[in-house]
Amino acid sequence: MWPYWILFLIPAMVAISAQPARTLRADGSRRITLTGSWLLVLIVFILFIGLRDRVGGDWFNYFNYLFRAETQTVQEALQRADPAYELLNILSLELGLGVVGVNLFCGTVFSLGLIIYARSMPRPWLALAVAIPYLTVVVSMGYARQGVALGFAMIGLVALGRDRFLWFAFWVVLAASFHRSAVFLMSIALLNLDFRKFINLPILLLIGFGMYVAFLEDSSEVLIEVYIESEMQSDGAFIRLLMNAVPALLFLRYRKRFSISRGEYKTYSTMSYLSLLFFVALVAGLLPSTALDRMALYILPIQVFVFSSLPDNIGKTESGRKGMIFLILAYYTLVLLVWLNFANFSHWWLPYRMFPPLDIYEAYDMSR
C-alpha cells in the first residue's frame, strides 16, 4: 500500500510550508495557472490512475463494456444510458488500447478536473492532499465512470463559483454522458439561482429537462426500482455522508469569514445544505443509503473547498494557521489509514499494480 501513501504524503508535506494563493480575479475568485510543478503532478496522477492493474472494486465489471464494444455500433452506443463511456470503449478497442486506453482517458479527465479545482482553492497543495484519500483513491480508482463525471463536475463547480451557469451546464452535460447520475448536479445550479434574473430560470429548466430526456427518461423507472424501491444499502454510507456533513457545518458556521466570490458563497452554501439534508435523511431512514451515497459523491468537493479554506479564514495567527493545517492533514492521514486497513472492500485496491495488458481477454483472465 506504500504507493498510496507516497501519493498522499508528498503533497501533504508540501502543503505544510506552501503559501496560500493570493492572486485574485475581479470577482474575488482565484486565478488558475498550471506551473511546471503542477503539470508534473498532473502527469503523475494520470499515470497512477490510468495505468492501474486490477485495482478498484468495479475493475472486473468494467470488462463487460469492452466485450460489448467488440460488436456494438456507434448508433447502438448512443442509445445506451451512458453513451460517452460506451463510445470510449469502442474507440479504445479500435486503437488497440483495450482497458488501458479507457482508464487512461478516465484518469486524464479526473486528474485535470482535480488539478484545476485544487488550483482554484486558497491553498492548492492542501486541497490536493485532502482530495487524495477518498476522492482520488476510492472514487476515481474504484468507479471509472463516476470518476470521469467528477472530473467534469469539478471544472463545472469552478465555473459555477464564477456565476457562469451555462458553462456549468456544459460540463454537467459532459459528466452525465459518462454517468447519468451526474444530472443531480443541476439541482445545485437551480438552488443556487438568482431568481431576480428571470432569464436564468427558463434556461436552466430547459437544460435540466433536456438532460432528463437524454439521460434519464428511458431508465428512470429502473433507477427508482434499484435505488429506492429495493432499498439498497451501502456499506460505510454513514461515514461517507458524515465526512461531507462535517465541513458543511463548518462552512455554514464560519462562511461570513470566508474571503470568496459571491458565486462561491452561493454554491457552497447550497452544497452544505444538501450535505446536511442527505445525512439527516440517512439517519432518519427517509431514503435508502445507496441512493443518498450515489448523490453525495458529487458533493465530495465540499471537503476540498472547506478544508483548504479554513486555515486562512479562521486562523488568526501564523501558528494558528499552521496548527490547523496539521490537524486537517492528520485527519486525512487517519482516513487513508483506516480505509486501507479496515474498509470492507479495500482488498480490491491492494496491492497497487500498474501496466495491465492491452489485450482485453488476457487482462480479463488475469483479473479473475
Q: What is the dihedral of CA 266, 187, 113, 250, to 10 degrees?
A: 40
Residue-level pLDDT at 230? 39
| Grid cell 451515497 in the structure block, residue | 293
Q: Which residues of the chain have pLDDT under 50?
A: 220-233
Residue-level pLDDT at 99? 93
Residue-level pLDDT at 211? 54
d(CA 30, CA 264): 11
Residue-level pLDDT at 274? 92
- 141-159 burial, b for 16+ CB within 10 Å, e for fewer? bbbbbbbbbbbbbbbbbbb
CB-CB contact of 81 with 180 (8 Å)? yes
CB-CB contact of 106 with 49 (8 Å)? yes
Residue-level pLDDT at 225? 44
d(CA 319, CA 317): 5
Residue-level pLDDT at 226? 41
Given CA atoms 263, 264, 268, 271 in this order, what sign does their dihedral have?
A: positive
Domain spans in the chain, listed from the N-terminal domain onward: 2-16+23-367
d(CA 137, CA 193): 33
Cell readout for 287 is 431514503
Residue-level pLDDT at 39? 96
**Amino acid in the structure at residue 216:** L
| Grid cell 479507457 in the structure block, residue | 102
Residue-level pLDDT at 253? 95
Tens of pLDDT, residues 101-158: 999 999 999 999 999 999 999 999 999 999 999 999 999 999 999 999 999 999 999 9
Cell readout for 228 is 429506492
Residue-level pLDDT at 286? 79
Residue-level pLDDT at 365? 75
